[in-house]
Amino acid sequence: MAYVLRDWPPLRIFTSSAVFAFKALFSWLRPSMWVVQALLLPLFQIAFFVYLARFVQPSGTSVSFIAVGNAMQISAFSSIFAVCNITSEEKWQGTLIPIIATPANRFPLFLGRAVFQVFNAAVTVAVGFVYAQFIFGVDLGQANLLSLVVVILLTSVAMTGFGLMLGSLGLYLRTAMIIANVFLFIGLLLCGVNFPVSALPGWLQPLSYAIPMTYGTTAARAAVAGASLADLAPTLLEATAAGIGSILVGYGLFRAFERLARKHGRLEEF
Amino acid sequence: MSRFQTFAGSFRMSMTNFFADPQWIIPNIIAPFTFTAVALIFFRNVTGSVALYAVLGGGMMGMWGNTLYGAGFALAFDRWNGTLEYVMGTPSRLVWIVAGRSASNAVLGLLNALAIFAVAVFGFGAQLGLADPLRFFVALVLTLASLSALGVVFCSSFVLTRSAQIMTNGLEMPIYVITGSMFPIALLPFWTSPFSLALGPTWGIDAMRYAADPTYVGMGFGYAVDVAVVALTLVAYLAVGFVLFLAVENRARRDATLVEV
């Protein structure tokens, strides 16, 4: 049975794609550089907004709220930026056409490309929480650690799905780098990272709730306050739905753009 | 070819490249814009010199975003496009080529800062009353030059690595924090002070605040001292950048591992 499952084409494509993506990443990125990035990015992002909040001291906004929100949002560097650029990077390397020419199912192929970034995102968030507690004084004494771990993992998966959806645009556009940059930071405004979503204009709030990070920040704060998995189930279900919805929309867009690119012969136009 | 011709040619080429595909301004400006927007929401019930931190800090971030990314990608794009060997193979010194590119990014950085000021003032209704526009402009230009020179210093190390993009991403936020772009550096842990004070932009943003608001106290040294220190750091960064570039260029030619590192 195990042999049959291992040879199941989608699983084989997913696995080989994930292994290739991992090897390709560390063929140009030194592991030490990866570690430095994982250690520095959360520290300075949390520091910036915590010191800003301490300076302004806005009523109703606490350091804990901001530190936890930014610790979660820092995962966007992996789950949004890196994942969104997958198609563009294939384009730059000249490997997109051979990939598109293969009969391999695109769904497991691009999921495999992105899977390391789920791990990457979760590690960065975990580092962010360590800083939140030991440098910025967030009290994790009451936190439900199991809930927090599940929230971090689920949000990383859901945000990676959102990144894949954005990345599908890179198949047709000259580059997805612009979109990647916009969505890398726009979460700071939209996803309840630094202030509640309710502080945004009403017309922007639906966009907030289309991004899985919004549910992730809400659930993480509840987990820090001690909420159990059962308490968090509705929020986690919403995050999962947003993540799965993103992946499905992304896959649909990818196939539509692939057909369009084939039709107009502009797959590598940039 | 004279150094000035190299510098001018590189500046012109960089500008031409930018205007051929101006969408690349977005990655450089989106972080400063978002940070400023978040800060302005934080500052919405605050007025006076405190609110000024958000607007001026946003402008400084806009300049740093562009100069840093300009420095980071000045040679990374050559590496990706396979033109780095040709650039290194020209008889012109690499430092003058990079200097021309950095100068063009500085000009675009100034446009970034103005765009952020405009969005803050017209989009968010922030106050940007300049008590002394001339002194403000001098501080702004010196700060921009200092940021650009700092970018050149970092760029020298980017010649030796394929991880320039990672390093660029990693260097954006620390400068925002350590220079106290949107809050007083007194809030930071004491041990960070030497780093803050060694950075020209820390003094530049302080000078800009002095020029914008006569009631501003800041670091306490006054406008003239701030401007003098920015000018001093500018010269120091340029000197360090020049020496580093010569060393790095020589090493790259000697080891012949330019596109493999």
Q: What is the pLDDT of residues A152-173, one digit of tens each?
A: 999 999 999 999 999 888 887 7
Q: If we measure between CA atoms, which residue out of B71, B229, B96 comes closest to residue B148? A: B71
Min Cα distance A195 → chain B (Å) is 8
Contact of B133 with chain A, judged by CB distance below 8 Å, is answered with no
3-class DSSP assignment, residue A227 = coil
Contact check, Cβ <8 Å, A44/B174: yes
For chain B, say whether A97 makes contact (Cβ under 8 Å).
no
**Chain B contact probe: residue of A52, A54, A193 with most B CBs at under 10 A:** A52
Measured between CB atoms, which of B23, B174, B184 is closest to A178? B23
Distance from CA of A119 to the nearest CA of B (A): 18
- Where chain A has pLDDT below 70, the residues are 1-4, 58-61, 268-270
Per-residue confidence (pLDDT) for residue A93, from 0 to 100: 79
Measured distance CA(B67)–CA(B172) in Å, rounded: 10
Low-confidence residues of chain B, pLDDT below 50?
261
Q: Which residues of A touch B177 (CB under 8 A)?
A: 44, 47-48, 51
Are the Cβ atoms of B174 and A56 closer than 8 angstroms? no
Res B242: pLDDT:
86
Indicate yes or no: CB of B42 within 8 angstroms of CB of A36: no
Confidence at residue B1, expressed as pLDDT on a 0 to 100 scale: 63
Q: Do B31 and A28 touch (CB under 8 A)?
A: no
Furthest-apart CA atoms within chain B: distance in Å? 59
| Residue among B33, B174, B123 nearest A186 (CA) | B33
Contact B30 A47 (CB under 8 A): no
A6 to chain B nearest CA, in Å?
35
Residue A192: what pLDDT? 93
What distance in Å separates residue A52's CA from the closest CA in chain B? 6
| Nearest-CA distance A230 → chain B (Å) | 33
Instruction: Check CB contact of A56 with chain B, cutoff 8 Å.
Output: yes
Contact yes or no for B35 and A188 at CB 8 A = yes
Q: Check: CB of residue B232 under 8 Å from CB of residue B146.
A: no
pTM for the full predicted model: 0.88
Report the residue from A37, A41, A48 with minimal CB separation from B176.
Answer: A48
Q: Among candidates A264, A220, A135, which has minimal Cα distance to B192?
A: A135
Listed residue (B73, B28, B188, B207) closest to B135, CA to CA: B207
Min distance A54 CA to chain B CA atoms (Å): 8
Q: Hey, what amino acid is at B66?
A: N
Contact state of B42 with A53 under an 8 Å Cβ cutoff:
yes
ipTM of the complex: 0.85
d(CA A67, CA A221): 10
DSSP count for chain A of H helices, then E strands: 14, 0
Residues 23-42 of B with CB under 8 A from A: 23-24, 26-27, 30-31, 34-35, 37-39, 41-42
Count of CB pairs separated by less than 8 Å, A with B: 92
Please say whether the beta carbons of A107 and A146 come within 8 A.
Answer: no
Q: Which residue of B has its CA nearest to A34?
A: B166
Q: Quick one: DSSP state of residue B121? A: I
Tokens standing for residue A260: 């369009």
Tell me the C-alpha to C-alpha distance, in Å, between residue B200 and each of A40, B143, B196.
Answer: 22, 7, 8
User: Which residue of A41, A173, A185, A193 is the best one to mutate when testing the B interface, meaning the one whose CB has the most B CBs within 10 A?
Assistant: A185
Nearest CA of chain A to the CA of B1: how many Å? 33
